[in-house]
């Protein structure tokens, strides 16, 4: 019994920690973009941010959101409906940015709006969804392994491995 409680606490820390690490990485990239002083740097940062955010959204949509909806629909359904709409707006911007280059009309504006969506996503999860996972005592043990596996298989992880 006590092992289960310890396991559940460790899983919450591990799963939420991985997702918060993604959020920190995105925030760092948006900061780097503001400091970039040439187009090659800007382009590399935007492409990296688009990939990082896409992979993060896929992990949350495939693993976390359905799991929370199932575990406690009353607490999470409304919050996750909003998250779904926001992710879809971010995806539209990412799709546009992936095919653009610095200097194109609306390039900086689109990345700035993507930052705003991302900040909202982060504050809603870290200020709403994640604290509720903890306060409702949601057991995330079943999620730790698939999320870790998804992160290992991500394009960025493979790129790090190969280069």
Cα distances (Å, whole numbers) of residue 12 to 1, 42, 65, 123, 142: 17, 35, 14, 18, 10
Name the one residue in this structure whose structure tokens are 């187009």: 39
Q: What is the DSSP letter of 137?
A: T
Cα distances (Å, whole numbers) of residue 18 to 23, 38, 60, 128: 9, 31, 11, 17
Name which of 15 and 42 has its Cβ closer to Fe ion: 15
The distance of closest approach from Cβ of residue 75 to Fe ion in the complex, given in angstroms and rounded to an integer, is 17
Binding window for Fe ion (CB under 5 A); candidates: 10-18, 92-100, 110-118, 123-131: 123-131
Distance CA 43, CA 67 (A): 35
Q: What is the DSSP letter of 104?
A: S
Q: Give the x-and-dash track for 72-111 against Fe ion (CB under 5 A).
A: ----------------------------------------
The distance of closest approach from Cβ of residue 86 to Fe ion in the complex, given in angstroms and rounded to an integer, is 10
Name which of 59 and 97 has its Cβ closer to Fe ion: 59
Comparing CA positions, the residue from 18, 22, 20, 46 lying closest to residue 33 is 46
The distance of closest approach from Cβ of residue 103 to Fe ion in the complex, given in angstroms and rounded to an integer, is 30
The distance of closest approach from Cβ of residue 156 to Fe ion in the complex, given in angstroms and rounded to an integer, is 16
Q: Which residue is nearest to Fe ion (CB)?
A: 125
Q: What angle do CA 123, 64, 92 make, to 5 degrees?
A: 65
The distance of closest approach from Cβ of residue 151 to Fe ion in the complex, given in angstroms and rounded to an integer, is 13
Name which of 115 and 125 has its Cβ closer to Fe ion: 125
Name which of 46 and 83 has its Cβ closer to Fe ion: 83
Where do contacts with Fe ion occur on this chain (CB under 5 A)? 125
């Amino acid at each position: 019994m006590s092992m289960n409680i310890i396991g559940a606490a460790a899983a919450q820390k591990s799963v939420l920690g991985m997702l918060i690490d993604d959020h920190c990485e995105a925030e760092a990239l948006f900061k780097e973009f503001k400091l970039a002083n040439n187009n090659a740097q800007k382009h590399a940062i935007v492409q990296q941010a688009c990939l990082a955010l896409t992979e993060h959204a896929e992990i949350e949509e495939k693993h976390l959101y359905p799991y929370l909806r199932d575990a406690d629909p009353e607490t999470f359904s409304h919050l996750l409906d909003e998250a779904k709409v926001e992710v879809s707006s971010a995806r539209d911007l990412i799709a546009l940015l992936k095919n653009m280059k610095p200097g194109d009309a609306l390039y900086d504006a689109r990345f700035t709006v993507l930052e705003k969506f991302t900040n909202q996503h982060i504050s809603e999860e870290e200020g709403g969804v994640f604290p509720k996972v903890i306060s409702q005592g949601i057991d995330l043990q079943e999620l730790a392994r698939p999320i870790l596996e998804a992160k290992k298989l991500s394009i960025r992880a493979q790129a790090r491995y190969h280069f």
